[in-house]
Chain A
Amino acid sequence: MRAALALLLWCAALLVGAQPITLRYAVTDGADSLGVVEGIVKEFEAKNPNIKIKIEPIVDSYAQKLMAMYAASISPDVARMAPQDYQPMAARGVLLPLNDFLRNDPSVKLADYYPNIVRFFTYEDKLYSLPREVAPTGLIYYNKRLFDEAKVPYPSPDWSWGYEPRPAEGAKDFTWMIGALSRKDAKGRTFQYGYSSAWPQLMLETLMLSRGLKLWDSNEKPTKMMATEPDVIDLVTFASDVVNKHKWAPSQTELTSANTSQRDLFIQGKLAMYQSGPWEILKFRREMKGPNAEWDVVPFPAYVGSVNRTKGEGSGTSIFATTRYPKEAWEFVKFMSGPPGMIAMARAGLNQPAIRSLATQPGIWLPAADATGDAAKPKGIAVTDRAAASMVIDLVPEYFRPIANLCQGKSYDVLTGVNPPVKTMEDLQRTASRDLANQIRRQETSPYPTNIALVLGALITIGIIAWVYLPERGVKFTTAAKKENRSAYLFLIPWMFGLAFTLGPMLYSLFLSLAESDMIKPPKWVGLRNYTDAFMLDDSVAISLRQTFVYAIFSIPLGLISALALSLLLNQKVKGIPLYRALFYMPSLASGVAMSLIWMRVFNPDSGLLNHMIYNTWPLSTTGFGDWLSYMAGKPGEPVNWLANVKTVIPAFVIMGMWGAGGGTVIFLAGLQGISTSYYEAATIDGANVWRKFRNVTLPLLTPTIFFSLITGIIGALQVFTQAVVMTDGGPDRATLFMVVYLYRQAFQSLQMGYASALAWILFTIILVITVIQLQASKRWVYYEGDIK
């Protein structure tokens, strides 16, 4: 008997032991690379039957979702990690250091990896991510045909750059080449550019690095901004001139509004030299065809007389500290960030391996010896090894990240020519120095008084209930009224339950607004400091409030009137009216991303539809309206660059908003149906005309709907967000840095959730005050037929 039981237990133990465990693996991969990752995972599962891997692709807001998951204690076990994402997590103990595994596992030798990528992933002497790929961004791809046509020799690997072109140096001078390879039409407009980096800041950052300059004093412990040093100003002016004065490189705003990219220009043969990372090679092999089929790659030039220093990126695989299966997770990390994963990704042309011997062995990342045609390109691919070995990354302490972000933003402004470079740098010096002082001061905090917060929370809740209930306590009710009171609350039950889902998080954010918090470490008490900072120190708050109100003041009445007018039009009894209604509503249904991309084309200064109608189409073109518009926009004689001009970007947003009038129209249409036909009959008998009927019947009976549209319109307009993030990213020069855009940045880019919450509650208070005033005023102009008279 006992033996049988033991046997049974043993069997059970065996069953439990054989049960495969599942690791959740978060990746950013989308359409093009997910298949390869799945292949690697399958291979791993075949070799490790006791481990299953569940891939969780996160196609957007990657760091943000990982943060939310961690806050909710449901992090994945393993995740793909980029250097800029891992550091805040490592600093907060979210990730497991890998050093113990490495010490006990001789199969992984860190010495095999590129030393700089290992250094990127090392935080306070511990490694937090095993590198899988290196991505040096100091690579310059060039189109040989454009060089041949301009009779410019191909770049020599030991070339350099200086502030002045040196034609005598020929193949060794980058600056001369950019100019010589740019071509302009009769109007002085560039149709072929000499050089561009894949994104604007990359150019400036690479130039700074190779010149040995920084915007701040030290990477280890920045305490001082150096944005106005003469050397920095010289360099920034040079970079700005390349784009804005000589027009040798395309500006980002031009490209965005033309819905093209630096990469597309290069593929189409309109750009001679393109600076980017190794991930481009796959696409170029596929898409550089016909006249552009001859291309190659060289490393970014060094500054005259100095060594080669360029930027780089990469990615690795990290383990979350919360995993229940660290051993199994390590097995998977070793596989994904070891030869099997690297070889698969490299053969697919996606990643340059982080293990140097794999990156330099033909047939993996380098083309096989017998490769022909496009697969054998580019001839100079071996320079990716040199570029990876010379890449540098600026790791700055946690408190400096918001300022580093600010510097990025200002670099962008310099290169898009929003303001003259000197002014931008002076502005940066001032703002960043103040922010830096704040950040250093913010380090001093005290622990959050959780108990007091709980008591306060309870008091607020009791206070709200008392505020709702007490004022009418003294009112005497009849029996019928008591019954009505009781039924009313019965009807409200579902909503009261639902309030927990909304009021709970709202209260939480109210408490957070009194704290310094990144949602990961326990919040630190700062009292009202977030609020005082917002009003006294941070000029972005005032600017974003002002811009939000400017937008609201134009968009609310326009939206209201156009929706009302449309609804009257669509209420006509005309053939095919259901179809017309659908046509007017359809722009509000389309995917936001696709619509934003299309609108950017509409607003393009040169080829956009809007400017075409204003400047080139009768009758508007004959009225001088375009000239007046250009004059008002501050650029006489130039077509208005709607989204890149501080003065026109909000009007552009308002115009775009009109296409969303369909939603409001539907509400007004429903309101019009609610008006009883008998009123119109009575009015007809009295001999009223269309206008009188509208004025005396329709409008008064529509006031409840107008009131609704007004209130929700105000709330919506003051929280305007999406377009500004997708289309202009808060720019130009903070013109679309609306309140919610700004607090979103504070929350998720600078990880200052406490400050973001304070900003949100400031906005909340403003909206609440406006709404309460509206509610009071509504008693005078809103007419409800159902009110007891």
Chain B
Amino acid sequence: MAKSEPLSISAEYHRAGRRGILQQRIANASVGLALVLGSILFMLPLYVMVAMSLKSKEEIALTSPWSWPITLTFENYRLLFIDRNFAFWLKFFNTLVLSVIPTLGVTLTAAMVAYPFARLNFRGRDRLFVILLSTMMLPGVVTMIPGYVLMAKLHWIDTFLPFIVPAFFGGGAFNIFLLRQFLKGIPREMDEAAKLDGASHARIFWQMLIPNSGPALATIAVFTFIGSFRDFMGPLMMLNDPNKQTLEVALRSLQNARGTEWHLLMAGSVLVMIPMVIIFLACQRYFVRGITLTGGK
């Protein structure tokens, strides 16, 4: 039997035999066209960003933002790398620490908290779940100062702890909710069997469910990494020492009362984006590893 591709138009027509060759080509071409046109549309704002980052300050002032630089220059990037206050590498390192550790914490503990919500029966589960969701519903503006005071009472201001410790406490409602939805979608047969064999809930969680939630875990890992990497308000409030600051905050200092340094801001934005794109590409492998539990592969 032909290997089934989930909802692949091309594979569909492939099976339809010779008659379908033309249709298959048309289907392939239209998918390709949609992908190419769509990505051009989506990349337009980024094209402007990259183009401006490669223009000199004078050229930005004189030319349309949509034009490709007349004289390509990497001067803006060079200026950022040597700027003592921008301190790219130091801030890159800080940002990396502040992204990697929370990502580990969130991925680990969010799955742990999501598991009982998804698959166990316990007193008050549905009402606790409402409480979980309700923590997303109050605008952060009004909890910011009480939260700040709490961090100060713990002597965590100007340290990385406000970003690291909470990540190990379940990692937030968004991630728990996402994982709960995925865990609820995994068929029961295998863990019911394991339960009959006397396996503990911890073992079922670790040996049956975790290995089968690759795509969901990869998703929350990528989201957490990117969210932390781009966080602005958090580091701005919690950190005082410029040597502990992150890239996103350093980027903002390129905008000031004397006007926006467009050329530097755009170059900086491109620099900040590169690590996130790399992480995303690296994690893709895990997005496409589906359920192996009951699959027919």
Contact = CB atoms under 8 A, between A and B. Distances in A.
A binds B: yes
Contacts of B42: 583-584, 586-587, 659, 662
A68 B144 contact: yes
Interface in B244-265: 248-249, 251-262, 264-265
Interface string A738-768: 0110011001100001001100110110011
A31 B79 CA distance: 12
B133 interface: yes
A451 interface: no
A559 B236 CA distance: 30
B130 A505 contact: no
Given A491-B115, A494-B109, A497-B169, A30 B123 contact: no
Chain A, interface SS category = helix
Contacts of A55: 242
B169 A494 contact: yes
A772 B127 CA distance: 10
A65 B236 contact: yes
Contacts of A764: 134, 137-139
Contact of B187 (A469, A504, A676, A771): A676
Contacts of A670: 182, 215-216, 218-219, 287
A21 interface: no
Contacts of A591: 230, 248, 251, 268-269, 272-273
Contacts of B65: 259, 598, 601
A784 B185 contact: yes
Contact of B183 (A494, A666, A786): A786
Given A494-B169, A505-B150, A583 B273 contact: no
B170 interface: yes
Interface residues of A, number: 150
Contacts, number: 410
A342 B237 CA distance: 29
Which of B45, B49, B276, B284 has the most A CB atoms < 10 Å from its CB? B45
Contacts of A489: 116, 122
Contacts of A602: 44-45
B46 A587 contact: yes
A503 interface: yes
Contact of A690 (B9, B34, B109, B141): B9
B290 A473 contact: no
A519 B142 CA distance: 11
Nearest to B209: A786
Which of B169, B249, B289 has the most A CB atoms < 10 Å from its CB? B169
Nearest to B115: A491
Interface stretch (A114-122, A168-176, A177-185, A699-707): A699-707
Contacts of A56: 240-242
B181 A705 contact: yes
B159 interface: no
B21 interface: no
Contact of A711 (B152, B177, B253, B281): B177
A283 B84 CA distance: 21
Which of A35, A57, A597 has the most B CB atoms < 10 Å from its CB? A597
A777 to B, nearest CB: 14
Chain B, interface SS category = helix
A418 interface: no
B82 interface: no
A669 interface: yes
A694 B253 CA distance: 49
A32 B232 CA distance: 21
A673 B257 contact: no
A373 B185 CA distance: 74
A775 B130 contact: yes
A155 B202 CA distance: 83
Which of A508, A582, A590 has the most B CB atoms < 10 Å from its CB? A590
Query: Interface size class for chain B?
Result: 35 or more
A73 B183 CA distance: 44
Contact of A671 (B120, B182, B293): B182
B31 A569 contact: yes
A59 B241 CA distance: 12
A563 to B, nearest CB: 13
A704 B182 contact: yes
A492 B120 CA distance: 11
A484 interface: yes
Contact of A704 (B61, B116, B176, B184): B184
Nearest to B149: A72
Interface stretch (B10-18, B69-77, B96-104): B10-18
A712 B166 CA distance: 21
Interface in B205-252: 205, 214-216, 218-219, 222-223, 226, 230, 232-233, 236-237, 240-242, 248-249, 251-252
Nearest to B260: A597
Interface string B161-183: 00000101110001011100111
Contacts of B43: 583, 586-587
A487 interface: yes
B149 A71 contact: yes
Nearest to B247: A591
Contact of A501 (B169, B242, B252, B261): B169
Contacts of B123: 468-469, 472-473, 475, 485
A771 B129 CA distance: 11
Interface in A774-789: 775, 784-788
A590 B49 contact: yes
A468 B113 contact: no
Contact of A495 (B176, B181, B188): B176
Contacts of A595: 45, 49
B142 to A, nearest CB: 4
Contacts of B293: 676
A481 interface: yes
Given A571-B7, A704-B185, A719-B139, 9 more contacts: A65-B237, A68-B145, A71-B148, A491-B205, A569-B31, A572-B9, A582-B281, A673-B290, A771-B134
18 contacts: A471-B124, A487-B202, A491-B201, A504-B146, A505-B150, A572-B8, A572-B31, A582-B284, A591-B230, A662-B42, A666-B222, A670-B215, A670-B216, A673-B214, A677-B6, A690-B7, A760-B139, A784-B184
Interface of B: 1, 4-12, 15, 28, 31-32, 34-35, 38-39, 42-46, 48-49, 61, 64-66, 83-86, 109, 112-113, 115-116, 118-125, 127-128, 130-139, 141-153, 157, 166, 168-170, 174, 176-178, 181-188, 200-202, 205, 214-216, 218-219, 222-223, 226, 230, 232-233, 236-237, 240-242, 248-249, 251-262, 264-266, 268-269, 272-273, 276-277, 280-281, 284, 287-291, 293-297
The 7 residue pairs across chains A and B that have the minimum distance between CB atoms:
A498-B169, A72-B152, A495-B170, A488-B122, A505-B146, A30-B253, A488-B116
